[in-house]
Structure 1
Amino acid sequence: MFHKQLLAASVSLMMLSAKAQTPVYKNTSYSFEERAKDLVKRMTLEEKVSQMMNKSAAIDRLDVPAYNWWNEGLHGVGRSGMHVTVFPQAIGLAATFDKQAMYKTADIISTEARAVHHAYERKGSRDIYQGLTFWTPNINIFRDPRWGRGQETYGEDPYLTAQMGIQLVKGFQGNDPKYLKITACAKHFAIHSGPENSRHSFNVAVSNYDLADTYLPAFHDLVVDGKVASVMCAYNAFGGQPCCGNDLLMTNILYNQWKFHGYVTSDCGAIDDFFKGHKTSTDATSAAADAVIHGTDVECGHTYTTLVNAVKQGLVAESKVNESVQHLFEIRFRLGLFDPASMVKYSSIPESVLESAPHKAQALQMARESIVLLKNANNLLPLSKSIRKIAVLGPNANDSISVLGNYNGFPTKTTTVLQGIKDKLGKNVELTYERGTDFVTNKDNVDFAAIANRVKDADVIVFVGGITPSLEGEEMPVKIEGFDGGDRTSIDLPHVQTAFLKALNATGKPIVFVMMTGSALATPWEAGNIPAIVNAWYGGQATGEAVADVLFGDYNPAGRLPVTFYKSTDQLPSFTDYSMNNRTYRYFSGEPLYGFGYGLSYTTFAYSNFGVPSSVVTGKPVTVSVDVQNTGKVDGDEVVELYVKHGTGVKAPIHALEGFERIHFKAGEKKTVKFTLTARQLSVVDDNGVRLQVPEKLQLFVGGQQPTAAALSSKKVINKTVEVKGNQIVIEDLGLH
């Protein structure tokens, strides 16, 4: 017995000795924070600084491998060099209005991201677009349709943006109680939405009201509620300070008010802008110091190489460098990058998941769900599969690049609309295809009348046009009619396409106009003359199959517009004006061509029994319910939208989306849908940017679209009033005043 006790004591001493000899940062029994702090203490200043650029160097003496922080996953793993599943562009994902499907899509992207990372890791490769830290999502508000990067966002509404963004964060970061699957990043913080050509020097002027009411809510929700692991600060300046070195945005709001605990990255080259564009710093050294003082932990670029000198010159304390490096290593530890693979369940995801059958099926489903039926005069759609002859025309009909959007990966197979229709109809239908024109110019001097004459005996003409990511996007070398530097100078459908459509319309044949776009297009002539218009965005790898499914009735469309489609550029304020006055559906006083939240179906829905309490006490949530019935003969989805309109005398949006659910209904089926509105959702923002809940009478609207006068009179939207009683309370004070 004595010998057994002695042996056990000896083993315990050996274990204690081994634990004492193992550095804390290598010991998995310690917390990630303790491990990161221990590792940072062991580094020289030069080694610390080497970790603060997106391409972080290896520290061999500490067994720290090289790591590149830059990766993209906007709508599928981007730019990885491996074949992956590509979903609709972000603006198309937003058009689904489907939170559950958004989460599933994000979960698939993160699964493929892990597979890609570990495939490269096995090869010893740690290059750009191979890591686990993804700079997605872009939750800037798409305030102006001329912004070329608006396609990367979830649209113009803060609530929709936040809800879709949170689902992406959850799907990316996983549900493991200890380890992150991959990290998401809320960008670009904040007040960033073009123009692209001045983003490196532009100083945004915006009121406290607009800042708190429009530009910050989605960031608040992702940071505070979604626990997003990282934030990217924007290129532009605000209040005379670059966003990555901003007292109000970074120090006061992000860190002090919202208690952000993750890592902050600059946008690429943004620290250079401190001294090159904004002129707030004299040189690279002072710029780097300013960014670190404000909590920008990692720089996408090389300016942080000057930080060693910045510390030695007393421009920034080494303790601030330590804080940033600790943030970065906490993230790497939370990703399991220093732990045995057996401890991290995500490390076992095999390469075989890439483009797996379930993933491709979800890409098709999201492409279907993203499609918005804008017009369907005389129920032209769905088309009969027994048609004899069809003409498929236009610059996007057979374009396999447009469908992929920007910041994209590359699938093994991409289906264009032309191919999707061919696959749907088979060889028994005569199909004629001609591109006809480029997107903006008829550079080959094609005779549109001659094409129209050649297809005049078709049963139906499908024109697939719109624009392309080759024209709109990030800081692009494009200058052509309607487009400049990635942005748009006009929101009109390019005139050459309207001319082509007019020639086709002269045949008297039914025309279906399939649009691809990442932003709102003004199509007043088409809306008045073309019987059927379908918006397919940049729908990802399965675009063609999804469009064909909708055109021929194998899928009933239910997508909704996440942005306002205006009638013309003339309805827009100046592009450089960041005031929300007369912008987006929340403040636009004019009549749009197609409103935010709009989208048709092949069936009809009726709303009844809107259950709303007569009153609610400030600070308390309110639960409402409504009965929705599919009153048509076709199964389909309905997007149930809940809007809030504040009482007179209170500065607030015209009305604002505060709830939505996408629900499937069989023909004739009725369901009860419930929403719970929090005190924050029932609040308003005052001129000082303080979010308040005030005693007032609120109007609540529910239906399949916005509460327009026509929708209310036709009972497509129904409404009730609720009185808010009690004392005025402060929901959030960001200290803007």
Structure 2
Amino acid sequence: MTTYLALALGLLATAASAQPGQPLYQNRQAPTEARVQDLLARMTTEEKVGQLSTLLGWEMYQKDGQRVSASAAYTKVVDERHIGALWATLRADPWTKKTLRTGLNPRQAAEATNALQRYAVEHTRLHIPLLLAEECPHGHMAIGTTVFPTSIGQSSTWDPALIQRMAAAIATEARVQGAHIGYGPVLDLAREPRWSRVEETYGEDPVLNSQMGVAMVQGFQGASLKSGSNIVSTLKHFTAYGVPEGGHNGGSISTGPRELFQSYLPPFRAAVQAGAQSVMTAYNSIDGVPCSANSFLLTDVLRQRWGFQGFTVSDLGSISGLAGNHHVAATAPEAAALALNAGLDDDLSGYGYDKELLAALEQKLVAPEVLDRAVGRVLRVKFEMGLFENPYVDPAKAAKLVRTPAHVQLARQVAQESIVLLKNENNLLPLTKTLQRIAVIGPNADNMYNQLGDYTAPQPESNVVTVLEGIRAKVPATTQVVYAKGCAIRDTASANIAEAVAAARGAQVAVVVLGGSSARDFKTEYQSTGAATVTAAAGGQVISDMESGEGYDRASLDLLGKQLALLQAVVATGTPVVAVFVKGRPLNLNWPAAHVPALLDAWYPGQEGGHAVADVLFGDYNPAGRLPISVPKSVGQLPVYYNAKRPVTHGYVEMDNKPLYSFGHGLSYSQFAYSDLQASATESQGAVRVSVRFKVKNTSPRAGDEVAQLYLSDDVSSVVTPARQLKKFQRLSLQAGEQREVAFELTAEDLMLLNGSLKWVVEPGTFTLFLGASSEDIRLKTQVKVAQGVENVAR
């Protein structure tokens, strides 16, 4: 009662201070909740339903020369459908048919979003501004922005502070162009490398995913969404989307509640606790219930247990998919009702709710208060971002703050830290800059789009540095750098392996750049049709390089096309070989691991990837990236993630049970020693803490980074637990000979499990701690004992 009385008094006070005739919702001094309720009371049902429609935005502006304005299509949907948001308005790619010529530069983008906002604010009855959402996983997916490494590379840095800085840069570039929401981070655990979207994830581990997700949320949202340089973070995809059966994108999931809560939900919970204001549902179903109609997830877990205060949004078309794909609704209005009643607020597509939701309301499938609840959540974000007071942006500021030199340098740093040195036999790396002749070979050596990943806008060639260009910029002008493509990623008809062999034979070292591609080629206007590539041999069939990226699921993980044959032919020359892999998912590296002395994994390293790879090859940067996902020897081993539950797997007839490279693996040009491990447990009423201290020393004559990793095993537990689970990690920069003490503290949340009654508890008993450089490279080990345990861990 006291709370309601205070709210009523607040409403009276703010109403008294408002300008005469000014609606309460337009009073910036009024409490947000009061403004939301006042506006809801003034809206028609049609206006409310319109606020829940997020339409595809790239057709909503028109460009005439240098002039940008709202399109007739836009004014029509505002006038007739009262829409509340747009998605991907500034996106450019073959799907949108926006190219460097037909799309918008940052200044024009700001002018376009201003034009859209102006019409929404000035030509609608209630003057409600738009929310503009954009794709922002590794840079704002718009022309002229900075392109960072994809998420799998970001997590390979094991450096959340760096990723937070990156996210803040992305947020600034998006917000100054008029965007308010960034779709990202993707928090799906990637335990199925055949799945097409591994590159968009942070890998297979819930703790690493959680830390990276928190960093992205904090970088995106900053201290205030009214800052003019921050955006709402939309978490994707809620939930368990990254482990589809057979690797089929959007496929069903059959996990149980314990695994759901112990593995798949923790990254989302951590990001929600960090303040994330938006959550996107996944396409898949879990145990037969589609995520876009799952009230247990969207209401019980997300809101009642976690206290989420933002709004939820569907993935594109997933509401209509309840009828068309999952067949859990007979009609489109029934699908709309299922989603809204479950707690799905916003419709990304504009055709899942709209007239179908109006029909559901007319058929009394949805109560008016349920509609108000969803609309209120969307309006609340608009108020909290200050859009009713400041809906516009400064085009001059957009031109100045997008893709700044500082952001380009940051992209290079993220790429440097993301590179994983998998193998370095006989210290072939780093290379000396006194080499007289270097062969640079392979389909990814000089293909700028192949190193950028999916969800990337078209780029001027001057904005992207390829590996070939990075090497040429690194060595003296007197060094002869010979390039031969050798083959494509997938096309087997246009290979010229003989040229590559000739280049390797005459060189002192051959750098062979292989892997995969999630790229569509934007070099010509032909690409605006949406084709994945634009050229092919005369009379031949066009074969896209793409083997990764959304929808490109794999049956095998082998290097495609003639890539392995190319590598084998170059190795056969006897010239020392360094293999660099530019790709979006783990691939079969068995032959390279056995026959090539040095291997680098660069993932998709972004626009500065060529510089970063060259920095590592020549020792100007000492690599310290670590794998966020295990690399299998065969698809027959899958799943092969490191923290599988007991019992420990055994070998096969054909091979052992171990991955080729384990989670956390990564080498350096320096060596590090671990010592002096001390661990002790302290218990009090309802709490337990384990203090862990140890020392790490750089024993080499070269400065470098080490990533210290702490894994935990619950030795005897009432339910089955993983044999080893990452709990803490820290990336350390150590000078030559420097030693540093590292301190970790484990709490009940690190030690707990979900018991047979589905309660979070810390059970009495012993826990084994493993300290080392990877999940397999353990340097120190000890046990701690918990005597009393903790019942009902607060969570």
Amino acid at match of 1:87: F
- Partner residue of 1:253? 301
2:755 paired with 1:692: no
- 8 Å CA contact retained: 2:236, 2:281: yes
Name the CA shift for 1:642/1:174 in 2 (closer, same or farther; >3 Å): same
Q: Deviations over 1:37-59 (max 9, x none)?
A: 21111100000011101132547
- 8 Å CA contact retained: 2:225, 2:232: no
- Partner residue of 2:197? 149
Which 10-residue stretch deviates more, 151-160 or 179-188? 179-188
Amino acid at match of 2:139: G
User: Which of 405, 411, 420 is the matching residue for 2:470?
Assistant: 420
Name the CA shift for 1:347/1:442 in 2 (closer, same or farther; >3 Å): closer
Identity in percent: 36
- Partner residue of 2:183? 135
Shift of 1:338: 1.1
- 8 Å CA contact retained: 1:54, 1:299: yes
- Partner residue of 2:558? 492
Task: Write the distance in 2 (CA, Å) between the matches of 1:612 and 1:475.
Answer: 58
Q: Could you list the runs of 5+ residues in structure 1 that have no partner in the other structure?
A: 1-12, 118-130, 574-581
User: Which of 216, 236, 239 is the matching residue for 2:265?
Assistant: 216
2:493 paired with 1:432: no
* Matches for 1:172-211 after TM superposition, within 5 Å: 172-176=220-224, 181-193=230-242, 195=244, 202-211=251-260
- Partner residue of 1:372? 420
Shift of 1:668: 0.9
Amino acid at match of 2:43: M
User: Which of 702, 715, 726 is the matching residue for 2:788?
Assistant: 726
Task: Write the distance in 2 (CA, Å) between the matches of 1:583 and 1:188.
Answer: 20
Higher RCO (C-alpha under 8 Å, 6+ residues apart): 1
User: Which of 169, 193, 197 is the matching residue for 1:108?
Assistant: 169
Name the CA shift for 1:100/1:410 in 2 (closer, same or farther; >3 Å): farther
- 8 Å CA contact retained: 1:229, 1:263: yes
* Matches for 1:24-173 after TM superposition, within 5 Å: 24-55=24-55, 56-57=83-84, 58=120, 60-65=123-128, 67-78=130-141, 80=142, 82-117=143-178, 131-173=179-221
Task: Write the distance in 1 (CA, Å) between the matches of 2:293 and 2:191.
Answer: 24
Q: Deviations over 1:92-148 (max 9, x none)?
A: 00000001101111111111111121xxxxxxxxxxxxx311221110000111111
2:697 paired with 1:629: yes
Task: Write the distance in 2 (CA, Å) between the matches of 1:31 and 1:279.
Answer: 43
2:284 paired with 1:236: yes
Task: Write the distance in 1 (CA, Å) between the matches of 2:243 and 2:715.
Answer: 33
- Partner residue of 1:579? none
Name the CA shift for 1:191/1:325 in 2 (closer, same or farther; >3 Å): same
Q: Deviations over 1:343-381 (max 9, x none)?
A: x9x999653111111111110000000000000000000
2:427 paired with 1:384: no
Shift of 1:67: 2.3
Q: Deviations over 1:4-40 (max 9, x none)?
A: xxxxxxxxx9995753532111111112222122111
Name the CA shift for 1:14/1:92 in 2 (closer, same or farther; >3 Å): closer
Shift of 1:253: 1.1
Q: Could you list the runs of 5+ residues in structure 2 that have no partner in the other structure?
A: 1-12, 56-82, 85-119, 521-529, 534-542, 650-656
- 8 Å CA contact retained: 2:217, 2:233: yes
Task: Write the distance in 1 (CA, Å) between the matches of 2:424 and 2:615.
Answer: 16
* Matches for 1:399-410 after TM superposition, within 5 Å: 399-409=447-457
Give the TM-score normalised by the residue count of structure 2: 0.82
3-state SS of paired residue (1:463): strand
- Partner residue of 1:596? 663
Task: Write the distance in 1 (CA, Å) between the matches of 2:624 and 2:495.
Answer: 38
- Partner residue of 2:711? 643
- 8 Å CA contact retained: 1:619, 1:693: no
- 8 Å CA contact retained: 1:402, 1:538: yes
Give the TM-score normalised by the residue count of structure 1: 0.88
- 8 Å CA contact retained: 1:292, 1:320: yes
Name the CA shift for 1:64/1:592 in 2 (closer, same or farther; >3 Å): same
Shift of 1:409: 4.0
2:728 paired with 1:659: yes
- Partner residue of 1:354? 402
Name the CA shift for 1:276/1:200 in 2 (closer, same or farther; >3 Å): farther
3-state SS of paired residue (2:378): helix
Task: Write the distance in 2 (CA, Å) between the matches of 1:89 and 1:666.
Answer: 29
Task: Write the distance in 2 (CA, Å) between the matches of 1:697 and 1:188.
Answer: 36
Task: Write the distance in 2 (CA, Å) between the matches of 1:339 and 1:254.
Answer: 30
Which 10-residue stretch deviates more, 30-39 or 134-143? 30-39
Which 10-residue stretch deviates more, 226-235 or 247-256? 247-256
User: Which of 514, 521, 528 is the matching residue for 2:594?
Assistant: 528
Shift of 1:689: 4.4
3-state SS of paired residue (1:41): helix
Shift of 1:179: 6.1
Task: Write the distance in 1 (CA, Å) between the matches of 2:19 and 2:762.
Answer: 54
2:629 paired with 1:557: no
User: Which of 312, 325, 338 is the matching residue for 1:264?
Assistant: 312
Amino acid at match of 2:159: D
Q: Deviations over 1:523-576 (max 9, x none)?
A: 111100000000011001100000000000000000000000011111115xxx
Shift of 1:586: 3.8
Task: Write the distance in 2 (CA, Å) between the matches of 1:549 and 1:108.
Answer: 23
Amino acid at match of 2:614: A
- Partner residue of 1:124? none
- 8 Å CA contact retained: 1:200, 1:270: no
Name the CA shift for 1:253/1:341 in 2 (closer, same or farther; >3 Å): closer
Name the CA shift for 1:244/1:485 in 2 (closer, same or farther; >3 Å): closer
Amino acid at match of 1:148: S
Task: Write the distance in 2 (CA, Å) between the matches of 1:597 and 1:151.
Answer: 17
* Matches for 1:285-364 after TM superposition, within 5 Å: 285-301=333-349, 302-305=351-354, 306-340=356-390, 350-364=398-412
Task: Write the distance in 1 (CA, Å) between the matches of 2:44 and 2:396.
Answer: 34
Task: Write the distance in 1 (CA, Å) between the matches of 2:338 and 2:419.
Answer: 45
Shift of 1:317: 0.6
- Partner residue of 2:64? none
- 8 Å CA contact retained: 2:195, 2:249: no
3-state SS of paired residue (2:785): strand
3-state SS of paired residue (2:510): strand
Q: Deviations over 1:383-437 (max 9, x none)?
A: 0000010000000000100111111245551000000001111321111101010
3-state SS of paired residue (1:116): coil
Shift of 1:206: 1.2
Amino acid at match of 2:568: K
Name the CA shift for 1:531/1:667 in 2 (closer, same or farther; >3 Å): same
* Matches for 1:387-398 after TM superposition, within 5 Å: 387-398=435-446
- 8 Å CA contact retained: 1:621, 1:677: yes
3-state SS of paired residue (2:185): coil
* Matches for 1:477-626 after TM superposition, within 5 Å: 485-494=551-560, 496-573=562-639, 583-587=641-645, 589=649, 590-613=657-680, 616=683, 619-626=687-694
- 8 Å CA contact retained: 2:149, 2:411: yes
Shift of 1:70: 3.2
Shift of 1:194: 5.8
3-state SS of paired residue (2:197): helix
- 8 Å CA contact retained: 2:483, 2:503: no
Amino acid at match of 1:596: F
Task: Write the distance in 2 (CA, Å) between the matches of 1:404 and 1:150.
Answer: 14
Shift of 1:616: 4.5
- 8 Å CA contact retained: 1:173, 1:184: yes
- 8 Å CA contact retained: 1:95, 1:560: yes
Task: Write the distance in 1 (CA, Å) between the matches of 2:693 and 2:284.
Answer: 43
Task: Write the distance in 2 (CA, Å) between the matches of 1:14 and 1:556.
Answer: 59
Task: Write the distance in 2 (CA, Å) between the matches of 1:198 and 1:268.
Answer: 20
Amino acid at match of 2:584: G
Q: Deviations over 1:586-619 (max 9, x none)?
A: 4473211000000000000111121211565562
- 8 Å CA contact retained: 1:94, 1:562: yes
- 8 Å CA contact retained: 1:341, 1:347: no
